[in-house]
Amino acid sequence: MTPRRRLTIRGGRVASVITIGRGIVSEAAGLLQSASGRFLMVSPPGAKTVADRLREVLSGRLLGDLSLDDREEAKTLETVARIADAALAAGIRRDDAMVAVGGGVTSDVTGFAAAILMRGIAWNAVPTTTAAMADAAIGGKTGVDHARGKNLLGAFHPPHAILVDPSVLETLPEREHRSGLVEAFKAAWIADP
């Protein structure tokens, strides 16, 4: 059994269960939450290793598997529409859930799509970057950018489950890892009056 730590964060009507531990992606079938047991997975090419592992673990339970860009330029309503189109084409129901596998943009757009699809369905986050682990996957701040500014369209829609596997960070470029640590430090600094 993988040593792990579980935390529960209450945000509105949803309590996010955060599970932290090396190798927990292999245990995802028992940790991700969906009332029906079915999922639509959204991931960028940069999270291929983790997404491939989840495909194995969730074999037979995936309604669909959508690949999208995880760069800030993809944080648009068009990307959210693409996720919604794929979900509806796959026959998603209210009791199904989404799984965002990737960095902050993937968490933001997948969470926002889940917030507005059928007036809100469950979603789960499997962050693969330091910034996503420290900020984007936690708290339920979902959304997209607008021509007038960053994160102007969105909703608070916390994920039901968040799987944080520190071993996935070992392949991150050092610059990206440090950038994510700055996000974590920033959150700690602003929390202290």
Lowest mean pLDDT, pick from 11-20, 40-49, 75-84, 176-185: 176-185
Predicted pLDDT at 11: 61
In 117-162, which ranges are continuous DSSP H helix?
A: 130-131
Predicted pLDDT at 179: 72
With a cut of 60, say whether residue 43 has pLDDT above it: yes
Structure tokens at 144: 């997209």
Identify the H or E element spanning 39: strand 39-43
The string of pLDDT tens digits covering residues 90-115 is 999 999 999 999 999 999 999 999 99
Local confidence band at 177 (pLDDT 50, 70, 90 cut-offs): low
The string of pLDDT tens digits covering residues 4-28 is 777 677 666 677 899 999 999 999 9
- Tell me the C-alpha distance between 16 and 104, whole Å: 17
Mean pLDDT of 67-72: 94
3-state class of 139 per DSSP? coil
- Cβ atoms of 25 and 163 closer than 8 Å: yes
36 vs 169, more confident: 36
Of the candidates 134, 145, 149, 103, the residue with the CA atom closest to the CA atom of residue 18: 134
Of the candidates 9, 14, 38, 32, the residue with the CA atom closest to the CA atom of residue 165: 32
The string of pLDDT tens digits covering residues 133-175 is 888 888 789 999 999 999 999 999 999 999 999 998 887 777 7
Predicted pLDDT at 12: 62
Of the candidates 144, 152, 157, 68, the residue with the CA atom closest to the CA atom of residue 117: 157
